[in-house]
Amino acid sequence: HGVDTLEADPSGEGEGSPFGWHDTDGDPGAEHTITRGNNVWSKDDINANNGTDGISADGGAELIFDFPYIFDAPPVEMIEASTVNLFYWNNIIHDLVYVYGFNEEAGNFQENNYGNGGSESDPVNAEAQDGSGTCNANFGTPPDGSNPTMQMYVCDDKDGDFDNLVIVHEYGHGISN
């Protein structure tokens, strides 16, 4: 379900993310160089402590997140690639469903709502390689204004963070809840 490609500037600054994926203040320029932004903060949760000390991939000042997928490597050796894929897909889904009505007033997931209503400070906490389970995934959705959590697990040395259909499925739970 995953494809090993490097996308050039996927954040595109569209309707759902008018200042790009790494913006949180509405001014030009990214506030983060890691897999963190207005819609999602993707980091590992291998230690099953809800990502309080998790690793987020760092793309540097140029925001280049070139962390290749290595076919037979153990999942832990690809944690940066895992968090990048999780960040990418959470943002893609956010921006797609935004144009279909899952916007700020509808309770979408954003740190900054840029004056468009709804409650702020609720981007998705996307936890890659979560150590609290195996062979599954889930999405917990508290009320608007509180951070939802997506937990992706490893199953028999296969990293769920590269199963894009599961990521989309779990985000769908966030929307429906």
Active-site residues: which are they? 170
Q: Cα–Cα distance between 71 and 88 in angstroms, integer?
A: 20
Q: Cα–Cα distance between 90 and 124 in angstroms, integer?
A: 8
* Residue 134: both structure tokens together: 């195996």
Burial readout 112-121 (b: 16 or more C-beta within 10 A, e: otherwise): bbeeeebebe
Q: Cα–Cα distance between 167 and 138 in angstroms, integer?
A: 9
Strand 158-159 and strand 137-140: the pairing is: unpaired
